[in-house]
Amino acid sequence: MLIHKVADQALNIVKDTADYIRTARTQLLQGEITYKADMSLVTTIDVGAEQRLVSGLGKLVPGVKFLAEEQHKTNRSELMWIIDPIDGTTNFVHGFPMFCISVALYRDGKIELGIIYEITSQECFWSHSGIDVVKLNQKPVRVSQARTIAESVLATGFPSRSFDQMDHFFEVFKKMMVGTHGLRRLGSAAMDLAYVASGRCDGFFEYSLSPWDVAAGAYLVQKAGGRVTDFKGGDNFLFDGEILASNHWIHDEFLKYFE
């Protein structure tokens, strides 16, 4: 597998899918918006975008499987595309401009390619194992240089399905409100992670997430010089639902909030 070639073609497929989403959104009807069993939103555009991504990306890597949010929730495989066709669907439906496509290629226990494409601004954050940088469109980006939590802007997401950790979440939230430059809630975990990778935010935390929410973004943070763990400092963030990402400098201090 030639990762440079796969990446170039994957970027084109993602951009074409973003064009479809951008156009279709202007024609979205109320009847095309439904609820899943957990009451999260899904639209016909989510489904159509996923079908386009699966069709295109499936041709790039022989024998690849798919782990995707809407209709391709396969068993975990050692070679798979991990896809969220629209991360931030609630934003998308309600007219907030922050929503994106998230695509990662997972092989033999690690991510080899990550793409996050913010559809409204047409900002594409991407990298792969054949290069040493993360790029925002064609410009290299890095994590921030903040050295302490006190000088940091952090991002988070409010739990939408699992509320068993709610009390602890708000304890942490309160401490961070008074101990940082500020907290941001973008409504898309993939975009939160892309913002950490590009230095716009210094850290991000959330729980009750799925692999397609974090796979590409976590990879980009690591490639951009940051650090990603679960709340205990381990490496189970991809499949176990909780994630703590930072610019590396603040990570140990960040972890202390979750002790």
- Reading the chain (259 residues) residue by residue, the pLDDT tens digits are 799 999 999 999 999 999 999 988 777 655 456 555 444 556 788 889 999 999 999 999 999 999 997 665 666 789 999 999 999 988 988 889 999 999 999 999 999 999 999 999 999 999 999 999 999 999 999 999 999 999 999 999 876 666 666 777 778 888 888 888 899 999 999 999 999 999 999 999 998 899 999 999 999 999 999 999 999 999 999 998 899 999 999 999 999 988 8
Query: What pLDDT shows up at residue 31?
Result: 47
Cα angle vertex 211, ends 210, 213, to 5°?
A: 70
Query: What pLDDT shows up at residue 27?
Result: 73
Residues of the chain with CATH 3.40.190.80: 149-256
Query: What pLDDT shows up at residue 250?
Result: 98
How far apart CA 13 and CA 15 sit, in angstroms, is: 5
How far apart CA 233 and CA 256 sit, in angstroms, is: 10
Give whole-number Cα distances, 220 to 40, 84, 153, 234, in Å: 26, 16, 18, 18
Query: What pLDDT shows up at residue 71?
Result: 65
The CATH classification number of 149-256 equals: 3.40.190.80
Whose CA is closest to 253, among 164, 142, 154, 141?
Answer: 154
Q: Count other C-beta atoms under 10 Å from residue 135's C-beta.
A: 18
Task: Please compute, for residue 211, the number of CA atoms within 13 A of its CA located in the half-sphere on the CB side.
Answer: 24
Whose CA is closest to 82, among 58, 53, 64, 103?
Answer: 103
Query: What pLDDT shows up at residue 219?
Result: 98
Write down the residue that tokens 């998230």 correspond to.
102
SS3 state of residue 257: coil
Residues of the chain with CATH 3.30.540.10: 3-141
SS3 state of residue 221: helix
Residues 236 and 213: beta-carbon distance below 8 Å? no
Task: Domain 3-141: state its class.
Answer: alpha beta
* Helices (H), ranges, the chain: 3-25, 44-57, 89-94, 166-179, 189-197, 211-223, 251-256
How far apart CA 249 and CA 247 sit, in angstroms, is: 6
